[in-house]
Structure 1
């Protein structure tokens, strides 16, 4: 997100240098057209930022930002997107940890002699340990 925003910021700064907002020189204006044009330019930047985002990852947050009235400032939108990116990163790492824990539980269940189909645990008559019988006992066949 930071790299994407940085590239857009460079383009916006170059565009602002070429297309500057006109300022009133007569001194008698009370319409504040300069601030209105600046606000419109910032809203355009917000829309450009949001429309350039990945639809799969940011569709929900984009919809919620566009639904707010008035439209948040560019800085606020950027902070919301950074927060969403952090949440997705944390959620993704939690999902990966859950997969590893599930795999460990599955392996440890097989190691106890539970088997894949719920077979009864076998106890070795030679060493007295669960999970193998006398034909597979390491004390008889040797250790690997």
Structure 2
């Protein structure tokens, strides 16, 4: 009966390689020898999935299930030595607590910014709670938010739209700010400098530098001014420009 259960759980190709073993113990040892070793590429893939895991448009329960599944797969691949000795320095307890805290931080990092207040509350706890306790607090906050949204449908529509925009544009905006600088005017100015490739420090304009700035070297005779004023500049001169208005 046990042999039948094991064989039915295997793929056809693997079954053919263990079909003639006589006992379930022999089959299990054979499979453990072949597939029980730590798989480096699979570990790498799981760690990458864990680092990229974010809540996005999912609810708390769906996001937690996704992260929990990766944790379980990692635990199945990594074999830990079970210590049976009596520890008097609490080293074992400290190690387990550090492992739990690491999982808690991983879980909180992937949450949307809408849960920032709850995340701050959890992180301020000393000692840090377990992942299960943090999950319970987040679920309660999510339920309260849903009740509030049902009572205020206009605010709910705004919050949903804003959350979708933040989720889709957060990574793009962060990359832009890291590449081109800060926000508002400074961000725009840095973007223009990077986008045009040239920037004049004299007139604060783009698409040329100080070597080709007409305000320094003089305007050409056929230059067409767009403003409603008569401007007289020495053509191709380094002299200072004189501006008169009617």
Coordinate RMSD, CA, aligned? 2.2
The partner residue of 1:17 within 71, 76, 91 is: 76
Local SS of the residue matching 2:129: coil
CA contact (8 A) 1:8 1:49 kept: yes
Asked if the contact 1:21/1:37 (under 8 Å) is kept, the reply is no
Can you list the C-alpha shifts for 1:83-130, whole angstroms capped at 9, x where unaligned? Answer: 01001101111111899xxxxxxxxxxxxxxxxxxxxxxxxxxxxxxx
- Pairs within 5 Å for 1:31-46: 31-46=89-104
User: Deviation of residue 38 (structure 1)?
Assistant: 1.7
Q: 5+ unaligned residues in a row in structure 2: which ranges?
A: 1-59, 157-246
Structure 1 residue 20, shift from structure 2 partner: 3.5
CA contact (8 A) 2:149 2:155 kept: no
Whether 1:62 aligns to 2:119 is yes
C-alpha change, 1:19 and 1:34, in structure 2 (3 Å) is farther
CA distance in 2, matches of 1:79, 1:91: 19
Offset of residue 40 of structure 1: 1.2
Say which structure, 1 or 2, has more relative contact order (CA 8 Å, 6+ apart).
1
Gaps of 5+ in 1: 100-144
1:7 is aligned to 66
The CA deviation at 1:29 is: 4.2
